[in-house]
Structure 1
């Protein structure tokens, strides 16, 4: 009887060990990405699963709003306080169109939600205007927070990401994402599929929708998300999600095409869970090669100047 029990226990341990090894095993053939820079990290082990040009410094567009949210929450300001929509201190916002009316009011929490899930620029700028020290004080706090998190290749000039001088790297953004895990409200607000907000003075209501279509797919379990796009930054995506049994942080920067950053996330998920690779479209690869060539051409004169005795 004891012998049978020992045999059963050993068999059980072998099965568990095999399952753990299978779950931790990575595919042998690496998946190509369309994004200029990408990084995938296992949040439980801290190990990097995938990385391509993780230290490439590039504009990050509205991904900047994750830092905006972090600074707002760090300040401990009342989330239910009504604040007036104001962009007067931000030069880059002067000609930006929005459905939100200047001078109307909403709560700080609603502004935070719209900045995160709908990437609303007036909402993000309004949060900065109602910060102790105003707009300039807010931007200074963004850069101080980046420094505190060890984001040494990052810089912020304003809270929306419209400025091409809002720059970072995939590796730095992974540090930001890890910090955001301690701010569950950011995850909650960023992953809502839609939100209806009633403004005051004057009173009107608007519906807003998440800029990441993956939040509406049952096959994805997303705990944090932020998209971004400008001409200089390309399409960007940051997420905390599950890929197979893994809790992962994913960053894709400067993707070609409206949905290429979404496709890159899907490619990595399929690769990680099944070991199967997915072909990247030729036009996306062409864009990637062209951008890489442009960077090399810009870097060459600087290297030549440094080489002159």
Structure 2
């Protein structure tokens, strides 16, 4: 009786409130559904679904995502490490070479710029892919050809990379002066700019590549061969010793020194300003005095760096090829710098002698 009376009272309470037990259940269900719907909507608002994976070969990657049901395209500078990939140096067994500085580069060469004395070498005679270090030879050919640097060049479909599908901020139809093309090719490693420079050489790309190889022969770069002006092909190869010769020759041109060592610059494309930055963070480091530099990366080459710098008042040329890790080539440059700073001047072969301070490799 008590339970029946209690049920009656509760029922009367719901009725008096204008609600029945069934309506309460319906209201609760509706509220729960609305809450779940709101939560799902909130999660979807925060969720970004990746529709395509970025390609790791380019310095700028294209990402296609979907946010709140809408397709979004964005471009980002690649900062994540590339997936494990056997480089040409690894395949040649160079990774087995050890050195006292524990460099992460399979190939290294350091020499005194004043007298070409070798201070440090590791597998320096092995020809390997050099990636975008190629662009330093591209720049050398352009400036020595004395082409009109104010001539406006147009990016065409021929300049689009269909080998490694690297991205570019220069759209087909973009117009820049030859000087600006060269500037961002050296500073930001712009592949389409490097391609446009070669294509606008008298005789086109084939003649430009032949001029690159002819210049290499002139400089005594016997281990070097070029097939394009950008370095995207793994067939662009050179030894570290050859690249040191290239650095010596390129350093003689103020334009190459300036363009390659600018930390950032604003250039005009189709009359509109575009800002570009360097691919080498050491350039903006006040602790470094860098007179010429070029970085490079493709999977087959690993991380590469060509650089002229002043250390302890002495100008040196440094070459690092097939380095592992996004910052490893820069870290290797730092290791070499500390090593040179710690050495006594008498041990640096300055003023005579032919034996390097350290030499190893195949």
TM-score bracket, shorter-length normalisation: 0.7 to 0.9
Higher normalized strand content (fraction of residues): 2
Tell me the residue number matched to 2:96. none
Deviation by residue 1:256-291 (Cα, 9 ceiling, x = unmatched)? 000000000000000110249xxxxxxxxxxxxxxx
CA distance in 2, matches of 1:173, 1:94: 24
The TM-score normalised by the length of structure 2 is 0.65
Gap change, CA 1:74 and 1:92, over 3 Å in 2: farther
CA distance in 1, matches of 2:112, 2:196: 35
Structure 1 runs of 4+ aligned residues shifted over 6 Å read none
Deviation, structure 1 residue 90: 7.4
Higher normalized helix content (fraction of residues): 1
2:296 to 214, 228, 242: 228
Deviation by residue 1:61-80 (Cα, 9 ceiling, x = unmatched)? 00000000011111110111
Deviation, structure 1 residue 96: 3.6
Tell me the residue number matched to 1:256. 324
Deviation by residue 1:168-196 (Cα, 9 ceiling, x = unmatched)? 01000011111112212101110000011
Deviation, structure 1 residue 230: 0.6
Gap change, CA 1:94 and 1:257, over 3 Å in 2: closer
Tell me the residue number matched to 1:214. 282
* Equivalent runs, 1:192-211 vs 2, <5 Å: 192-200=262-270, 203-211=271-279
Checking the alignment, whether the CA contact within 8 Å between 1:63 and 1:228 is kept in structure 2 is yes
Which has the greater radius of gyration?
2
Give the gaps of 5 or more residues in structure 1. Answer: 1-28, 277-295, 297-309
CA distance in 2, matches of 1:214, 1:237: 11
Deviation, structure 1 residue 89: 6.8
Tell me the residue number matched to 2:312. 244
Tell me the residue number matched to 2:229. 159
CA distance in 1, matches of 2:208, 2:163: 15
Checking the alignment, whether the CA contact within 8 Å between 1:39 and 1:51 is kept in structure 2 is yes
Tell me the residue number matched to 1:187. 257
1:104 to 174, 192, 202: 174
Checking the alignment, whether the CA contact within 8 Å between 2:186 and 2:294 is kept in structure 1 is yes
2:342 to 264, 274, 295: 274
Alignment of 1:83 with 2:121, yes or no, is no
CA distance in 2, matches of 1:70, 1:162: 18
Give the gaps of 5 or more residues in structure 2. Answer: 1-98, 345-361
Tell me the residue number matched to 1:74. 144
2:119 to 39, 49, 53: 49
Matched residue SS, 2:337: helix
Larger mean CA deviation between 30-39 and 129-138 belongs to 30-39
Tell me the residue number matched to 2:212. 142
Checking the alignment, whether the CA contact within 8 Å between 1:112 and 1:127 is kept in structure 2 is yes
